[in-house]
Amino acid sequence: MTTPVKVAVTGAAGQISYSLLFRLAAGDVFGADVPVELRLIEIDPAMRALEGVVMELDDCAFPNLVNVVTTSDLKVGFDGVNWALLIGSVPRKQGMERRDLLGINGGIFKPQGEAIASAAANDVRVLVVGNPCNTNCLIARENGKDVPADRWFSMMRLDQNRAMTQLARKANRPVTSVTKMAIWGNHSATQFPDFYHAEIDGVEVPKVIDDHDWLNGEFITTVQKRGAAIIEARGASSAASAANAVIDTVRSIATPTPAGDWTSVGVVSRGEYGVPEGLQFGFPIRSTGSSWEVVTGLVHTQAAQSAIDTTRDELLGEQSEVTELLS
Ligand code: NAI
């Protein structure tokens, strides 16, 4: 029998996980013939709710799901895992300063980084989803240095998917015709959805969509503010689409990027495009399935470069607020 892929998920009783775990167990991520072991990590107060989720997993009788472990002990949770999906975090509440949020999340992601480095499998890859995901990833990565820096990722894919749909709708084309959709910077309202380099049926977007006011205005703000719009409409944050983006991200990292395309992920900067080395930054990347590289050589307009500088500065500001947590 094929060796199971061991996947740790934190925040396993939360909303995103409720949409994610069943697809992981069904084989949507690693393939229908690959057995999966889930290691579900939660804080103690959520353990009862997690028991309910596990009952439902049991009741699906997924042929691929060979084992489920639930725990609040990080060493147990991350033991031998090949993938760690760090979803659990504390959302910003009314009256909470961004600084408080970063401090609280630092308390979560520092020990998680340490535990992954000491307990996970040699080939572990880590995806941070819990917000602020780029800086949380930076904290975990810096505290888990035994795991090479290029195996830590933060999620920009929901923004990529949102942007692709907006462009496809405007051009009246299927979403599959949109390629090379890069999201630069932070997964926040400063992110830059780069329509200049995106293509529809292989043609640059500004040549296909002639409403440049829309591209420069409504398109960008719709993508940047989509999370808030969903909260406003649904009364709850985007969970199903976020779970779907987790699946897309893991697949895009673990399989070769199709020719003529790229994918957006937060990765460690090696100084590309003037982004300081070490910052966890949303870039377009290409993967071979086992390694990846940032797409280089893209030339930015002045407006695009200025947008990238803005989101870079926001991330640098976040980094400066957590310096004491970076080893
Ligand atoms: P949720 O509040 O429904 O669930 C979060 C879960 O995390 C809760 O069950 C909680 O008990 C658990 N948790 C808290 N601290 C933990 C810890 N130290 N260890 C393990 N589990 C812990 O939230 P939801 O909707 O599932 O979202 C999770 C995170 O994902 C939030 O931070 C949200 O802002 C973020 N998010 C990120 C997106 C992205 O594109 N990067 C998109 C959407 C959401």
Any domain includes 327: no
Give 108-127 pLDDT, tens digit per residue: 999 999 999 999 999 999 99
Mutate which of 21, 39, 42, 78 for ligand 1? The one with the most ligand atoms within 8 Å of its CB, which is 42
Whole-number pLDDT of residue 324:
86
Q: Are residues 9 and 150 in the same domain?
A: yes
* ipTM associated with this complex: 0.98
SS3 category, 209 = coil
Give 233-242 pLDDT, tens digit per residue: 999 889 999 9
- Answer whether 199 contacts ligand 1 (Cβ < 6 A): no
Q: How many CA atoms lie within 13 A of 320 on its CB side?
A: 7
Domain final position from 139, 154, 169: 154
Q: Are residues 209 and 309 in the same domain?
A: yes
Any domain includes 28: yes
Domain final position from 89, 122, 154: 154
Instruction: Name the burial class of residue 23, with classes exposed (0-12), middle (13-18) and buried (19+) by CB atoms within 10 angstroms of its CB.
Output: middle
Tell me whether strands 125-128 and 83-86 are parallel, antiparallel or unpaired.
parallel
Q: Are residues 201 and 306 in the same domain?
A: yes
- Answer whether 188 contacts ligand 1 (Cβ < 6 A): no
Distance CA 81, CA 95 (A): 37
Return the ligand 1 atom nearest residue 16 CA: 26
Any domain includes 326: no
Any domain includes 23: yes
DSSP 285: E
Whole-number pLDDT of residue 261:
98
Domain final position from 154, 178, 193: 154
* Average pLDDT of span 58-72: 97
- Torsion, CA 236, CA 241, CA 244, CA 248, rounded to 10: -130
Confidence of residue 56 (pLDDT cuts 50, 70, 90): very high
Q: Are residues 128 and 221 in the same domain?
A: no
- Answer whether 7 contacts ligand 1 (Cβ < 6 A): no
Q: Are residues 72 and 195 in the same domain?
A: no
Q: Are residues 138 and 81 in the same domain?
A: yes
Whole-number pLDDT of residue 123:
98
Least confident of 49-53, 83-87, 233-237, 242-246: 233-237
Whole-number pLDDT of residue 284:
98
State the DSSP H helix or E strand holding residue 193, giving kind and residue range, or none if neither: strand 192-194
Q: Are residues 143 and 186 in the same domain?
A: no
With a CB cutoff of 8 Å and minimum separation 6, the contacts of 324 are: none
Q: What is the DSSP string of 250-275?
A: HHHHHSPPPTT--EEEEEE-SSGGGP
The question of whether 187 is a catalytic residue gets the answer yes
Tell me whether strands 280-287 and 178-179 are parallel, antiparallel or unpaired.
unpaired
Q: Are residues 171 and 126 in the same domain?
A: no
Distance CA 134, CA 327 (A): 17
Q: Are residues 215 and 313 in the same domain?
A: yes
* Average pLDDT of span 12-31: 97
Q: Are residues 172 and 316 in the same domain?
A: yes
The answer to whether 129 and 16 are in contact (CB under 8 A) is yes
Residue 198, domain CATH: 3.90.110.10
Tell me whether strands 178-179 and 199-200 are parallel, antiparallel or unpaired.
antiparallel
Residue 39, domain CATH: 3.40.50.720
> How many domains does the structure of the chain reveal?
2
Distance of CA 16 from the midpoint of ligand 1 (Å): 7
* Average pLDDT of span 173-199: 97
Any domain includes 103: yes
Confidence of residue 91 (pLDDT cuts 50, 70, 90): low
Q: Are residues 197 and 290 in the same domain?
A: yes
Structural domain harbouring 301: 157-321
Whole-number pLDDT of residue 1:
62
SS3 category, 204 = strand
Q: What is the DSSP string of 22-83?
A: HHHHHTTTT-TTS-EEEEEE--GGGHHHHHHHHHHHHHHT-TTEEEEEEES-HHHHTTT-SE
Query: What proportion of the chain, given as a percentage, has pLDDT over 90?
Result: 90
Q: Are residues 247 and 135 in the same domain?
A: no
Task: Tell whether the model's pLDDT for residue 98 goes beyond 70.
Answer: no
